[in-house]
Amino acid sequence: MDHTLLKRRLRSEAAEKRACLNGDAAKSCATEIADRLSMFDLPEKAVLSAYWPLKNELDLRPAMNRLFADGRDLCLPVVVGRDKALVFRRWTPGTALTAGPYGTEQPDETAETVEPSVLLLPLLAFDRKGGRLGYGGGYYDRTVRELRRKSKDILVVGTAFSVQEIDSVPTDDSDERLDVVVTEHETIEVFR
């Protein structure tokens, strides 16, 4: 099967699986994942990038609030243009958000631009080899590639419901792998 068609089919199947989680189950999973993320042994000065949830994505806001309360620096991604890497702006619970492309919410221009050392990524599907299936725009792949060129200390963490796991995500040279996947049931370290 054609690589593009396979990814399109897998995206559709993964979105349907994720949509089956009801509000209470999704909230419970988000709390479990927040617990797991709060136990990560991170450098003191690490800047963590999270994301504002779209549709029925895993809601990281409980984790963001907890990490902020623990004194962590947080930021959110900002889409600056098609085929460009994301930039990141500092986030606190009071940060003003504006509508971005594709229905995203992102900090406005008044928020400080920062460079994250830990990225918490949304996804549609993942595998245990670090494969990640996103929406297909390539924003995170471009961004992770650029950040890894600058520093080998970048930690890329996929955050997902356990039902989003599949046997194998089809990848090519343009796809960046995850270092870790955190679900409500486990933390999966990827060994490459």
What is residue 153's predicted lDDT score, i.e. its pLDDT? 87
Identify the pLDDT of residue 4: 79
Q: What is the domain range of residue 184?
A: 3-189
The tokens describing 132, both together, are: 């990640």
Predicted TM-score of the model (pTM): 0.93
Angle, alpha carbons 124-183-153 (nearest 5°): 85
Predicted pLDDT of residue 59: 92
Q: Which two tokens stand for residue 15?
A: 């979105």
What angle in degrees, to the nearest 10, is found between the helix axes of 23-38 and 61-69? Answer: 30
Number of domains in the chain: 1
| Confidence at residue 186, expressed as pLDDT on a 0 to 100 scale | 94
Whole-number pLDDT of residue 11: 87
The predicted pLDDT at position 44 comes to 81
pLDDT of residue 140: 95
Pairing verdict, β 125-126 and 132-133 = antiparallel
Side-chain half-sphere CA neighbours of 154 within 13 A: 20
Residues of the chain scoring pLDDT < 70: 1, 191-192
Take residue 9 and report the two structure tokens written for it: 């089919």
Contact 34, 63 (CB under 8 A): yes
Report the CATH number at residue 158. 3.40.50.10420
Give which of 44, 34, 95 is closest to 67, Cα–Cα.
Answer: 34
What is residue 116's predicted lDDT score, i.e. its pLDDT?
Answer: 97
